[in-house]
């Protein structure tokens, strides 16, 4: 007779074999751990630095941030080759390539990030942003004296002089800036604007016509050209520029009022009526609306 215990033993061993087979499969799936610190060149921890790990095989990405002491750790990573990027505000980014093992402990990855060099113009820019134009001007002049090849200083000095109401010196510095950067849209716009402000239509148009259409986002510049052309008895050309200004800003009250005056001058009463009514619609309490109402009374 067969011993029942023998059958039970065989059953237990069979289940045990299945258990060990399953356990062996799970033990074969092992992972790597990466960890380290992010600090500045002088050893100060950088909190909040972004660490981006990109697995070379397949491109899977893992992203985390450093803690208060600059530390970071990422577990459950597939072993293999990685590109790791380190980014932090105010510091130059850094990339490294490493191979992470799952069979041994990986060496800590301690990174030292270099600060982004400050521009010599940064102090002047700070003063300009605080509307301390005289102080900014002196700072820019000092920097330019020490760095004669620093072309960006000319435009900044021109801006300060303009803010201080010194238009002629501002024009000189913008012209110097244009010699260094002949296609600079900012410089061309500034030169055009100041010359138009001084009433120098032809001089302003010389620079204005060098501008690319896409750079003309400010309706005021186009408006000023239109006003000067109108003053110089060129109403049709003036109307064209005012209309371009209105394309940039459909609610530009001064533009509609000026266009109404131009249409009135050209004898286009219907156009003038339309423009003055638009002024009243957009800004009913404005001075331009009051003038528009009076002008409309005389339009038959």
User: Could you tell me the pTM of the whole model?
Assistant: 0.60
Task: Give the Cα-Cα-Cα angle 265, 271, 272 (nearest 5 degrees).
Answer: 55
The whole-number pLDDT of residue 119 equals: 87
Burial 92-123 (b: 16+ CB within 10 A, else e): eeeeeebebeeeeebeebebbbeeeeeebbeb
Q: Rounded CA gap, 176 and 158, in Å?
A: 9
CA dist list (Å): 151 to 141, 178, 211:
12, 10, 20
Check which CATH number belongs to the domain holding 223 and give it. Answer: 1.25.40.10
pLDDT attached to residue 63 = 96
pLDDT of residue 11: 44
Q: What is the CATH number of the domain that holds 49?
A: 2.60.40.1120
Number of structural domains found in the chain = 3
Residue 263, domain member (yes or no):
yes
Of 113, 129, 144, the one marking the end of a domain is 113
Looking at residue 22, what is its pLDDT?
44
Residue numbers of the domain that contains 268 = 216-300
- Residue 27: inside a domain, yes or no? no
pLDDT for 213: 81
Domain check: are 231 and 153 in the same one?
A: no
End position of a domain, from candidates 82, 113, 144 = 113
| The predicted structure's pLDDT at residue 118 | 82
Q: Does any domain span residue 11?
A: no
pLDDT average per 10 residues of sequence, the chain (300 residues): 49 42 49 96 96 94 96 96 96 96 94 91 95 97 94 96 97 96 93 92 93 87 92 94 95 96 95 95 95 89
Contacts of 265 (CB under 8 A, 6+ apart): 230, 235
């Amino acid at each position: 007779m067969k011993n029942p215990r023998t059958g039970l033993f065989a059953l237990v061993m069979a289940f045990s074999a299945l258990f060990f087979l399953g356990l062996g499969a799970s033990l074969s799936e092992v992972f790597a751990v990466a960890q380290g610190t992010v600090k500045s060149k002088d050893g100060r921890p950088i909190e909040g630095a972004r660490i981006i790990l990109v697995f070379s095989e397949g491109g899977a990405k893992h992203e985390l941030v450093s803690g208060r002491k600059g530390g970071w750790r990422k577990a459950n990573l597939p072993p293999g080759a990685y590109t790791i990027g380190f980014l932090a505000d105010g510091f130059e980014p850094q990339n490294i390539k490493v191979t992470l093992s799952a069979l041994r402990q990986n060496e800590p990855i301690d990174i030292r990030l270099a600060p982004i060099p400050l521009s010599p113009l940064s102090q002047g820019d700070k003063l300009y942003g605080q509307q301390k134009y005289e102080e900014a001007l002196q700072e820019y002049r000092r920097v330019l004296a020490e760095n004669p090849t620093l072309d960006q200083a000319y435009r900044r000095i021109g801006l300060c002089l303009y803010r201080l109401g010194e238009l002629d010196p501002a024009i000189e510095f913008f012209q110097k800036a244009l010699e260094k950067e002949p296609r600079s849209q900012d410089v061309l716009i500034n030169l055009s604007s100041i010359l138009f402000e001084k009433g120098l239509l032809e001089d302003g148009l010389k620079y204005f016509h060098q501008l690319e259409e896409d750079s003309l986002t400010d309706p005021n510049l186009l408006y000023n050209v239109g006003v000067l052309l109108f003053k110089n008895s060129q109403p049709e050309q003036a109307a064209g520029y005012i209309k371009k200004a209105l394309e940039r800003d459909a609610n530009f009250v001064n533009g509609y009022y000026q266009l109404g005056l131009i249409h009135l001058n050209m004898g286009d009463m219907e156009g003038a009526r339309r423009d003055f009514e638009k002024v009243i619609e957009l800004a009913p309490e404005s001075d331009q609306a009051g003038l528009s109402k009076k002008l409309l009374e005389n339009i038959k």
